[in-house]
Amino acid sequence: MGQLRDTMMHDLELTGYVAHTRLLYLNSIRDFAKFFRRSPSEMGAGEVRAWVGHLTKEGGIGPQRIRQHMAALKFLYTKTLFKPEAVSFLSWPSDPQTLPVVLAADEVQRLLDALVKPKYRVFFTTLYVTGLRVSEACQLETRDIDAARGVIHVRHGKGKKERFVMLSPRLLAILRAYWVLERPPAPWLFASAAKSDRHLNPDTARRAIRLAAIQARLDKKVTPHVLRHSFATHLLESGTQLRVIQVLLGHNTIKTTTRYARVSTELIAKTKSPIDSLKTG
């Protein structure tokens, strides 16, 4: 199993998978091998089918984690072991169609006010007014702030895709005041408190916003991604076109962005009802 793990790791690196995804895939294959107490190279479609059935019925995990297990199996058997027939039957389970959590503007303000440390207040302000993912914001460098053009260069987007997001004059002023106060070590805009040569850890940021939500007495489950949802929804409610929001968020397809139209209560409330055209007593 050790040699197979090394080979798969090499294949994952060559394909361009990030370290976090590589670890997830390798752990999935480790669990698969441990379940049957055999090397995956000695197994095929029967064992894969049984393993997926176990995960689905008894694994106690959600659709997203099952998809990760399936993706790991598919990569192993198609790219590393050259046995595509072992996974050709796999089809991804879909997530329940739930609406993303969105904060109202006053709730966003309460959340930001509850962040005592200036670094975290500025960090999450940046998240909200740009729609960045937490990992993207953590890896921002001072050179990414393009004041002349009024944009922020996102170099570490999902799938290694770069893009630009808007930099409002107000956010620029906030970032400049923060930089003067904190003097974060180069090149990071938001550096780790534990290791100054590294950027802010996303898990540290998640803990900070979770505590702030408690302090703000918000009755919603608040994560950094909730600020991204709120950014998109509030832009939509202010009249920004979906296509523009798609580009700002870095979505590959407009289909991903259209879900925000489903959660915009303001737009829903403004929609004219057919009853308004009826002549009723």
CA 72-252-56 angle, 5° bins: 35
Distance from the first to the final alpha carbon of the chain:
78
Return the closest-CA partner of residue 4 out of 69, 79, 54.
79
3-state DSSP helix/strand/coil percent for the chain, to nearest 5?
60, 5, 35
Residues 92 and 82: their CA atoms lie apart, in Å, by 21
Q: Are 139 and 156 in contact (CB under 8 A)?
A: yes
**Catalytic residue set:** 133, 158, 225, 228, 251, 260
Supply the DSSP symbol for 199: B
Residue 93: count other Cβ atoms within 10 Å of its Cβ: 13
Return the closest-CA partner of residue 136 out of 228, 14, 209.
228
Taking phi over 0 as left and psi of -120 to 50 as alpha, with beta for the rest, 133 belongs to beta
Question: Which residues neighbour 127 within 8 Å (Cβ) at sequence distance 6 or greater?
Answer: 134, 137, 224, 227, 228, 231
Q: Are 135 and 202 in contact (CB under 8 A)?
A: yes
